[in-house]
Structure 1
Amino acid sequence: MSTQAKKDPGLNEVNEVLYSQINKQLYDPNQSAEERRDLRVKLVQQTESRRELVAQDRGDKLYQIISKSNVLFENVKNTQEAVLDSRFMAITADINTQKVKNMSIGQENEVTLDEFVSKIITASENGPKHIYRQRLDWEHLGKIATKFSKKAHTTDFLLGPLMVEKKQVNRTKTTRLTKNKEDLVRPQQLKEGDIKKQENETSKNVNAIYKILTEVQPINYFKFVTNPESFSQTVENIFYVSFLARSGVVGIDDSTGQPILGLRQVLNVESIEDVVSKKQIIMGIDMNDYKAIIETYSITESVIPTRESVQAVARGSGWY
């Protein structure tokens, strides 16, 4: 009894009334510590036996342990022991559920479908409405089932997953891109011989342009390098003329306001550095400039003949 209850007689009287109304079979706060300790040990042992229940195939062991747990529960009168008992019941329920899921109907030592159906027919034959090989007395079977269940289950539950419709999965087919090997072109791999051949081709074109210039000089620079049939060859002509200018064999005179291209006397290095103020500029050109030059100078024919274009096609496989 608390100190406050001793000081307050009215509170003491209320506590005595409440304690007298407690059902000692369900809750007893004054249960002996030794009895509670012994009860907890046994409940813990019951809980630890779950491994044995899982390994055991049949249900007789589970039934025995649950029966023993019910006997122990009669002495449970406090919350701590009640928690241990509820934990054990939760474990046994999970084990029993798993055993039902793992049950293999139709195998040896188990209930077979033929045996189940024959028992149903035998039980129906005792009913007044049973017709041999035509009709079962389901009303009579229902009365038998009520002894074990509040509601007789219909037969459709036996179908189980057979009633489940399989979901249709729409799968889109992906077509793989196939490459035509005949249309595949990979970058050309240059060899040492190809580089030398390219250098020889450049020297050949530079010499050819020099010979043409000796025949037509002096001439407007744009009229000489511009090819109205090919923008790319116009760029090449500018490039080749720059080689001649770097060698000092050609020059451009703009004293008249127009760039006039012509040959110049070849001087030695010392005289060029000492006497002549040498400047070299490579002109840039785009498509708009190219069209403007053709229109301004009315260029209809190229002074430098159009060269044949060379296309390299690689055969075989590789990256593309």
Structure 2
Amino acid sequence: MHSRQRSSSSSRSSSLSRSHVPKHTRTTKQEHFEAYNKLRQRMKNQLKEAAKGQGIHISLNNIDELTRLYSVIERDQVRDTKVHLEDSEVLKEASGFAALNARNLRFGENDVALNENDVIRKIKQYAVTDDSMLVNTENDHIEGEEEDEEDEEEEEDAEEEVITDEYSFNKINWLKLGVLYHQISKKPISVDFLYGPLASERRKAASRTRIVDDSKSGTLTTAKAVQAKDIQEDEEKNTAYMIRMIYEIYLSKDRGGEVNFYTFFIDPKSFAQSVENLFYTSFLVKDGRLKLFTGRNGYPYVARVSQKEIQENKLDSSNAISSHHIATFNYDVWEYMIKKFKIKESFLGHRDELEDCIPEEDYIEEEVEEMEEVEEEEEEEEE
């Protein structure tokens, strides 16, 4: 009887002790988001401190808070990807906060400084060309840590004497060090080749005489009245007339055979008339009076279109072979063709007429411009 009472009492006491043990409560998904949003908002409010470079302790606190929040996620074994994504985004913002603070950090104001000897030693390791100098630097660094301040001052003085030595100075690649400086510094790189053009003075514009209107003061003259019958068209400058004339010259010289195309239109005495002959010949070919074809030797030839060929084309135009060509003809080609085919006289004859030429005024302007350019070059060389 007594044993039963003891067992029942012991079971009651154990059940009471279990009920007093606090059970672990899982954090809900909404609570996780609220905690991360609270941290994100706090970092946004503290961006001013990071912009000043005074957010080192704040950045460390943000990392500690992120570590605590993620430990809660691991404890609750949260598998929701949205919660993990929120943690990654807040971690990214915390990294940006720390990077902003690091960019604006000012050494010496926040109990952060660099050892001058360490900086010089690292610069030597980067720019030195002789490994023996690195060994001496490492030995000096080890001895400097073991000795007292007086010995360090003596070593610094000795090191300065070594650096000023010409041999040691030439063992450092100063060009490599200068390139590194231009890459990481905020100083703009100067461009030497712009010094000359920027320093030269601009040429002053020459003063021009003012044009005076003398229409009111001058004598008035009346133009001669011209009637329509007085205007006569110059046939020599008419394209249709020139085409007809060239075709008549060809018919008078045609012996029934084919004529070399270059010999036909090239005038060895005038490049301008050669171009004109080529222009007129193109109309004769277009109108079907002449045909242009490739001969057995591979050169182009022209020949008269016979009446039989004209009748055949009228009956069946599908047999006619026609194509469009764009001729390129310049002064060098003109001289080459004259030598190539030994052209002594023009097949179509030379026309005694005034050809287009450059006015004397243009020649004078070109000479003046050339003289001005030469003077400018001489002034630049003297400077």
Give the TM-score band, short-chain normalised. 0.3 to 0.5
Q: Greater helix share, 1 or 2?
A: 2
User: TM-score with structure 1 length normalisation?
Assistant: 0.34
Mark the structure with the bigger radius of gyration.
Answer: 1
Comparing both chains, which one has the higher relative contact order based on Cα–Cα distances under 8 Å and sequence gaps of 6 or more? Answer: 1
| TM-score normalised by length of structure 2 | 0.29
